[in-house]
Chain A
Amino acid sequence: MKCLEAEREILSRVDDVSFPAELKSHLLQCDSCSSLLRQLKEVDAVFGSAAIVEPSPYLWTRIESRLSECPQSLGWVAWHPLRTQAWLTLAVLVLFSFCLTFFQTQPPLGLERELAENRLLPSVTAGTNPFLIAQAAAVDGRNPFLEAMMPPDENPFK
């Protein structure tokens, strides 16, 4: 192994604990290369033990204060999960409202079929919406489906 090649190996292997056999053998024979390795290890040791510089103890206070100045930009205060939660809540509310509206206006299926076949509410089939009539009656505390089943003379509302 020549010195140029050894130097390249040394410079990229200063941290290594063991070297390839060829390099080891060259280092044993070459004072210049072994001196280079020793100097580089010393340099690494000097820099590795360079003084640890302490940041100011007030640095965190300044960071915290800057973060609290702009609450909208507080990405770390979970804008992402909050947005997901907000969307989920909205979706649940919409679904709930839909179900509430849907089940309030929908009559039982069997009755719907009978109404459509004009069996129960002949007066209703004259161009009016039975579900809207039922809704309006429900507001008055009446049950139009029961009323439809009663003979007219027994219906207290007629």
Chain B
Amino acid sequence: MLEKGPERKELIKLVEQVQNGDGYSCHVLYNLYSKPVYNFVFRLIGRAEDAEDLTQETFLKVFNEVAKLRDPAQFKFWLYRIARNEVYQRIRRLKRQSEVSIDDEDVGYHEFLRSRDSGPEASLLSKELEGHIQRALGAMPLKLREVFILGVVQKFSYDEVTQIVGRSLLSVKTDIYRARLIAKEVIGKYLQKTADEMSRSRKRDS
């Protein structure tokens, strides 16, 4: 589970210090948000190398433009919006290179994974489970994947998700609902298989 972020007052103070040019506060903000942002980007795009590049670009943009942020309390949502935009730009660029239409809802993460070498690197609970998670995410169109990652994986509230993706509450709820159905299809089979194996092993032991 990702750590809970700083309290609102603490965050405002930190952001204001960054806006005043305090380099140490920049590092503190980076330490607080680099992991969740990196995980968001990684789950969205599916490759560790791209995730690292995009996280780097995100923080560079954030620190270069933080003076323009009028409400420091909105920093987290603003940061995630920038990360999301970076991912979208990268995917558009890659799709142009692979001559795939960006409007094609079926072409997303999974196609991208198939066309390039990939291999999830991370500390893993189990490689098989991680593979299923990546496959489930890959099966979702980008629009559903992003809200699913924010709402279910990173546990943002529906309201917070709407602030990041800029869509209505109804649209976000509908998309998370559709993403859950897809995830259930992919992960459900794995969970059923795991449950069957556990029940078989219990019977053997007894």
Q: Which A positions have Cβ atoms within 8 angstroms of B?
A: 8, 11-12, 14, 39-40, 42-44, 46-56, 59-60, 62-64, 66-67, 73-82
Shortest CB-to-CB span from A20 to chain B, Å, is 16
Cβ contacts under 8 Å, B187 to chain A: 42-43, 46-47
Query: Beyond A78-B67, A81-B20, is A55–B35 a contact (Cβ under 8 Å)?
Result: yes
Shortest CB-to-CB span from B29 to chain A, Å, is 10
Identify B67's interface contact among A51, A64, A80, CB under 8 A: A80
Cβ contacts under 8 Å, A74 to chain B: 63-64
The interface on chain B, measured as residues whose beta carbon lies within 8 A of the other chain's beta carbons, has a size of 54
Q: Tell me the B13-50 residues at the A interface (CB within 8 Å).
A: 18-21, 23, 26-27, 30-31, 34-35, 38-39, 42-43, 48
Query: Beyond A59-B55, A62-B56, A76-B67, is A48–B191 a contact (Cβ under 8 Å)?
Result: no
Identify B66's interface contact among A46, A49, A55, A76, CB under 8 A: A76
Shortest CB-to-CB span from B145 to chain A, Å, is 11
Can you give 19 contacting A-B residue pairs, CB < 8 Å? A11-B177, A39-B188, A48-B153, A49-B125, A51-B122, A53-B51, A54-B122, A56-B52, A59-B34, A59-B38, A66-B56, A75-B63, A75-B68, A78-B19, A78-B67, A80-B67, A81-B19, A81-B20, A82-B21
CA distance A137 to B35 in the complex (A): 74
**CB pair B153 A60 closer than 8 Å:** no
**CB pair A60 B27 closer than 8 Å:** yes
Cβ contacts under 8 Å, A79 to chain B: 67
Cβ contacts under 8 Å, B160 to chain A: none
Cβ contacts under 8 Å, B183 to chain A: 43, 47
Overall SS of chain B's interface: helix
Shortest CB-to-CB span from A35 to chain B, Å, is 10
Cβ contacts under 8 Å, A12 to chain B: 173, 176-177
**CB pair B67 A43 closer than 8 Å:** no
Identify B124's interface contact among A39, A51, A64, A76, CB under 8 A: A51
Cβ contacts under 8 Å, B152 to chain A: 44, 47-48
B80 at the interface (CB under 8 A from A): no
Cβ contacts under 8 Å, B55 to chain A: 55, 59
**CB pair B39 A43 closer than 8 Å:** no
CA distance A82 to B20 in the complex (A): 9
Shortest CB-to-CB span from B100 to chain A, Å, is 26
CA distance A158 to B153 in the complex (A): 97
**CB pair B59 A63 closer than 8 Å:** yes
**CB pair B21 A42 closer than 8 Å:** no
A-contact 0/1 string along B121-148, CB 8 Å cutoff? 1111100011001001000000000001
